[in-house]
Amino acid sequence: MILTVTLNTALDITYHVRSLRPHASHRVSEVLERPGGKGVNVARVLAALGHEVTVTGFAGGATGRVVQELLTATPGVADALVPVAGATRRTIAVVDEESGDTTQLNEPGPAITPVEWNAFQDRYEALLASASAVALCGSLPPGLPVGAYAGLVRTARAAGVPVLLDTSGEPLRRAVAARPDLIKPNADELAELTGSHEPLRATQDARRRGARAVVASLGAEGLLAVTPEGRWRATPPVRLRGNPTGAGDSAVAGLLSAEAEHLPWPDRLARAVALSAATVTSPAAGEFDHRTYEKLLAQVSVTTEANAA
């Protein structure tokens, strides 16, 4: 199975209102709930691609119970979340039906105690024994050491399990030094990590800092990959319009599933770009349409990339 780690899981709630006006009262016409957090989103896409996935991380309180109930009801996804005393956060996306725009309200995550963090690390090590790959995704909840991901990368490497890391800021900087197999920063995260706004230069620099391979997601321009096996650029066939929510998580799922299937890099990148594009163009945020994905997969352009000057 593929393991995904979401230390700051969430219940993603979507509200539809006619038009959000500050300081007014609004009747919510539609309520949707989905388990969330980056690693959970990655797991959902992996399961939709036919992979067996196990989700770990933390869950607590009434919201944590709902997240676990919804995960258990998702075919192909196994719930291995570790219980905590604090409450799993809710994120609320208020969709304005007149403009289509979204207003986001994000609760803070639960504070994780050292005992809970130790319990998680034990569970994680046990789960790695049957994992073909692991993805470490998203922000750290309060209470965890900034080097949390660095430790999880080292544990995966010691277990011989390929590890993909998708986070940002100081936790990313620390964890890169622990030599993950793959990181997938976006342009902002890459610039923050390396200080360079030139994507190819920054991507190469991120490798020098410790990542075995770096796949930079450059929004509508697709992906730029710098790996020990070569450098590629993968771009979607057309300029896509839609909702970018979850596009990065779909790209992670594409890379991870293709790696688990031992596909060569160009195929991994094509899959990641096609999944990401099919997520942007899907009417439901964070979902993707299988037929669109398969159509786009044949149209993604993957070209080799020269060294930075």
Catalytic positions, please?
A: 249
Give which of 290, 243, 284 is closest to 34, Cα–Cα.
284
Per-residue binding string, its own copies, 83-102, x by CB under 8 A, is ---------x-x-x--x-xx
The secondary structure element, H or E, covering residue 197 is none
Binding flag, residue 29, its own copies (CB under 8 A) = yes
Per-residue binding string, its own copies, 102-141, x by CB under 8 A, is xxxxxxx---------------------------------
Residues of this chain, 287-306, that bind its own copies according to CB under 8 A: none
Side chain identity at 224, as an amino acid letter? L
> How many whole angstroms from its chain centre is CA 211?
17
Shortest separation between residue 243's beta carbon and its own copies, angstroms: 13
Q: For residue 130, count other CB atoms closer than 10 A to its CB.
A: 11
Binding flag, residue 72, its own copies (CB under 8 A) = no
Residues of this chain, 51-70, that bind its own copies according to CB under 8 A: 62-63, 65-66, 69
Separation between Cα atoms, residue 166 and residue 176, nearest integer Å: 10
Give 92 or 284: the residue with its C-beta nearer to its own copies: 92
Binding flag, residue 242, its own copies (CB under 8 A) = no
Side chain identity at 220, as an amino acid letter? A
User: Using CA atoms in the order 269, 159, 42, 81, what is the torsion angle rounded to 10 degrees?
Assistant: 180
Give 56 or 245: the residue with its C-beta nearer to its own copies: 245
Separation between Cα atoms, residue 43 and residue 52, nearest integer Å: 9
Residues at the interface with its own copies (CB under 8 A): 15, 17, 20-29, 31, 62-63, 65-66, 69, 92, 94, 96, 99, 101-108
